[in-house]
Structure 1
Amino acid sequence: MTSIARSSLLRQLAAARSATQQNVIAKAARATAFHTTARRDILPPLPQRVDGTVNDPAPVPPTSPSHGSYHWTFDRLVAGSLIPLTVAPFAAGSLNPTLDALLCATILIHSHTGFQNIIVDYVPAYRMPRARKLFIWGLNAATAVVGLALYEFETSDVGITEAVKRIWTA
């Protein structure tokens, strides 16, 4: 009802004002799309180097049966064997130390190969050879420590399946 009472001049002025505000808002939105944050590098770039010339072919790495499809197949077999090894002690109702040791070894191998794949994928040897070697040695040391801890837990305590059973029924 109030819009009818306004004069046409007031209506035209209000329309021009809202169009100007919308134009300013649109320009500000376009400008802020590119200027919202400052560009900051989280880490400095790694050292760059060029081996050879532009016309040299890319080096082809030597083939190895421990990498590629054989490695992937081994990882899938280990991961698939974890399912029956986890279910078998609880389904059979008996706690067998041999089965428990096999489960611990499979978990350890599965974890080691998984972390090794992460290191191979995300720490390239051609850019960071020392860091990659450090990560691989750290992984080997951690695997040895966890293997020793699992061995101690199996021999001097209740074992992994009994511990899981106790936690599950607690």
Structure 2
Amino acid sequence: MASIARSSLLRQAASAPKFQQSVIANAARAAAFHTTARRDLLPPPPQVVKGTVNDAAPIPPTSPSHGSYHWTFDRLVAASLIPLAITPFAAGSLNPTLDALLCATILIHSHTGFQNIIIDYVPQYRTPRSRKAFIWGLNAATVVVGLALYEFETTDVGITETIKRVWTA
């Protein structure tokens, strides 16, 4: 019985002029809280359906260099960073060859990681020009950072000596 009476009481309260005034006042107060209108900064790309519902999904051509070999290479580079980062400090000697190998491995690891992010989050079929621009930007950034690391290694103290000095400062 209480549940039947509850819905009718709510209807009566909602139809009351006092209730309507409080709803309007609360809406005005909430609207005053928002300072800007909602704007889409990046509108979604065009939505295009190719084919029909019953078409099979296209299977990309198989390539081991873009599949399991690529993943294995990424894991080997990531795993090799651990001994390369520890060896100069544990051995107590600073070797320029080891320092250059560490810089090259960090550069390759960063490049492949950002490349995987671009491949995952900028789809080729929806935004081909954006993806190409991101890949070219990544390649340019990798070249610039590689040149900067080379310059830092050859004309300055090197990355491991810099880390050692920062650590003891």
Q: TM-score, length-normalised on structure 1?
A: 0.75
Please tell me whether residue 124 in structure 1 is matched to residue 123 in structure 2.
Answer: yes
Please tell me whether residue 151 in structure 1 is matched to residue 147 in structure 2.
Answer: no
Q: Partners in 2 of 1:67 and 1:116 — Cα distance?
A: 12
Q: Alpha carbon RMSD of aligned pairs, Å?
A: 2.3
1:66-97 Cα deviation digits (max 9, x unpaired): 22322221111111110100000011111111
In the TM superposition, structure 1's runs of 4+ consecutive aligned residues that sit over 6 Å from their partners are 35-39
Query: Between the two proteins, what is the percent identity of the paired residues?
Result: 81
Give the C-alpha shift of residue 51 in structure 1.
Answer: 2.2
Give the C-alpha shift of residue 40 in structure 1.
Answer: 5.4
Residue 158 of structure 1: SS of its match in structure 2?
coil
Which runs of 5 or more residues in structure 1 are unaligned?
Answer: 1-19
Larger Rg over CA atoms: 1
Aligned to 2:63: 64
Give the C-alpha shift of residue 42 in structure 1.
Answer: 4.4
Q: TM-score, length-normalised on structure 2?
A: 0.75
Q: Partners in 1 of 2:158 and 2:40 — Cα distance?
A: 48
**What amino acid sits opposite 1:164 in the alignment?**
I
Aligned to 2:10: none
Q: Partners in 2 of 1:111 and 1:144 — Cα distance?
A: 12
Which runs of 5 or more residues in structure 2 are unaligned?
Answer: 1-12, 14-18
Q: Partners in 1 of 2:41 and 2:151 — Cα distance?
A: 42
Matches within 5 A, 1:6-85: 41-85=40-84
1:29-67 Cα deviation digits (max 9, x unpaired): xxx9xx999875443221122223333211101111122
Question: How many pairs were matched up?
Answer: 142
1:120-165 Cα deviation digits (max 9, x unpaired): 1110111000000000000000000000000011111111111111
Q: Partners in 1 of 2:86 and 2:109 — Cα distance?
A: 17
Aligned to 1:103: 102
